[in-house]
Amino acid sequence: MTTPARPLAQYAIFLTIISSILFGTSVYIMVFFKAATVGKVAGILPAAVGLWAISLTYLLGEWLSHQFGIIIVKRIGAVILGCLSISVAVATAGYALLLLQIPGPTVAQWALTSIAAMGIWGILNATRVPKLTRVNLIHPTKSPLGLTIVHLTDIHLDGITSTQWVRQLVNQVNVLSPDIVVFTGDLLDIHPDRIPEQIELLKYIRAKTAKLAVSGNHDFYMAYPTYQSVLESIGFTLIDNQHHHVAGIDFVGISDRDGRRFGHHRPDVDAIFSGVPQEGHRIALSHRPDEFHHFARHGVLLQLSGHTHWGQLPPFDFVIRMWYAHGRGHGQLGESRIYVSKGTGVWGPPMRLFGRSEIVVVTV
C-alpha cells in the first residue's frame, strides 16, 4: 500500500498551529519575567518575538535533518524547545509565588536557576539506559507459561539518539534472554537512510521465539510502508489488526488510529477479535492506552501500550494525567490489566525530567 502524500495545506495548518502555540508560550514566559523583575525586562513584545524566533530553531532543524541529514540544528532546537516547556511550568509556579507576595527579584532568580538546573538534569537523565520494570502476569484460572516478554515502545529514532544508546538498549534486552520481544510503535522520526547504524544495531535484538510489533502514530507520519520495511529488516513481525498465536499466547495487535488520516483502514476491535480463541492467554498490543476498555471487554489478560511519555517534560505530564484514565503504569478493568510504559526513549527534546525511560519485562 502506498501512503498518500500530505497536501501542502496540511503542512501550512500544522506550522501555523505550532507557531502560534510557541508565540503564545513565549509571551506567557516574558510577561512573567517582566512582572517578577518589576518592569526591568523592557519591551515584552520584542523579547517574546525574540524567544519565539529562537524556539523555531527546532522546526528549522527538522526540515534540515529530513532534507539534508543535518542534525546539529535539530539537536540545538530540541534542547531549546525542552527548556521552553520547562519554563512554562516554572513561570506558572512563579506567578503563584508572586501572588504570595514573595519579592519579585527573588522569584526571578529562583526561576532562572530552576530552568537551568532542570534542563541540565533532563538532558543527563535522558541519556541513561532505560530502567527495568517487571510485571508478573498471574491469573487465578490460567496456568503460568513460564515465559518472559520484553516490551519496548516509543524509541523515536530521530537522528539525535546516539548509536551508543541504541547499543546499550540492545545489550539490555539480550541480557534478559526473552522468549518474546514486543514493540508498540513510534520507531522512526527520520528516514532510515539517515540513521543506518542505529537500524543495523536493532537487528541484533534477540528473542527465543518471536519479535512482534504494532504501529504508532509517528510510524504513519514517517510513511507506513517505510515502517513495515524497517521492521522486516530488523526481524520483527508486524501484527497490525491481526492476532498471532505464539508459545501458548494469542497476541492481538491494533494499528494506530492516526493511520486513517493516511488512508490506512483499521477495523473495529470486535472484528479483530473475531477469530481469537476465548480460552487462551490473550495479550493486546496497542500504541495508545485509551482503548483499554474495548480490549478488556474481550477478556485480555494484559494490554501493553506506550504513547504518553509520562513524566518526560512538564507541563505535558499534567495534560496526560487529565486526558488519560491510564496514563502510566498499572491499571485494571475486571480481570484485565494494562501496563502503560513511560517509553523506551524520548520524543522531541532529548530530555526526561521526571522518571527514567523503561523496558517492561513481563513474566507469564
End-to-end CA separation in angstroms for the chain: 36
Residue 350 has pLDDT above 60, yes or no: yes
In this prediction, residue 3 carries a pLDDT of: 41
Quote the pLDDT of residue 2: 41
pLDDT of 1 reads: 37
Give the HSE-up count for residue 144: Cα atoms under 13 Å, Cβ half-sphere.
9
Give the rounded percent of residues in the chain with a pLDDT score beyond 90.
75
* Residue 316: all three cell numbers together: 505535558
Tell whether the model's pLDDT for residue 4 goes beyond 60: no
In the three-class reduction of DSSP (H, G, I as helix; E, B as strand; rest coil), residue 184 is classed as coil
Q: How many CA atoms lie within 13 A of 89 on its CB side?
A: 19
pLDDT tens sequence across 262-294: 889 898 888 999 889 877 899 999 999 998 999
* Cα distances (angstroms) measured from residue 245 to each of 178, 277, 283, 339, 341: 17, 10, 10, 21, 23
* Mean of pLDDT values over 331-357: 93
268 — alpha (psi -120 to 50), left (phi > 0) or beta?
beta
Q: Are 285 and 254 in contact (CB under 8 A)?
A: yes
Residue-by-residue DSSP string for 63-97:
HHHHHH---HHHHHHHHHHHHHHHHHHHHHHHHHH
Q: Which of 36-50, 59-73, 329-343 has the lowest mean pLDDT?
A: 36-50
* Spacing of C-alpha 347 from chain mean position: 5
> What average pLDDT score do residues 219-245 get?
96
Local confidence band at 41 (pLDDT 50, 70, 90 cut-offs): low
> Does residue 315 have a cis peptide bond before it, meaning omega lies within 30 degrees of 0?
yes
How many Å apart are CA 219 and CA 175, to the nearest integer? 28
Rounded to 10 deg, the angle between the 72-99 and 104-127 helix axes is 140
Question: Which DSSP category does 239 fall into?
Answer: -
174 near 204, Cβ under 8 Å? yes
- pLDDT of 31 strictly over 70: yes
71 to 52, 76, 158, 195: CA distances (angstroms): 21, 9, 9, 11
Fold of 131-363: Purple Acid Phosphatase; chain A, domain 2 (3.60.21)
pLDDT above 80: residue 42: no
Distance CA 248, CA 256 (A): 26
Q: What is the pLDDT of residues 180-203, one digit of tens each?
A: 999 999 999 999 999 999 999 999
Residue type for position 182 = V
Helices (H), the chain: 8-36, 44-55, 57-68, 72-99, 104-127, 163-175, 196-202, 217-221, 224-233, 269-273, 292-297, 316-323
Cβ–Cβ under 8 Å, residues 338 and 282: no
pLDDT above 90 for 122: yes
pLDDT digits (tens, 9 = 90+) for 129-156: 999 999 998 776 677 788 999 999 999 9
CB 204 within 8 A of CB 181: no
β pairing state of 148-152 and 329-333: unpaired
Can you tell me which residue has the cell 485494571?
A: 332
Question: In which residue ranges of the chain is CATH 3.60.21.10 found?
Answer: 131-363
- Quick one: DSSP state of residue 211? E
Mean per-residue pLDDT, 203-225: 96
Query: What rounded mean pLDDT belongs to the chain?
Result: 91
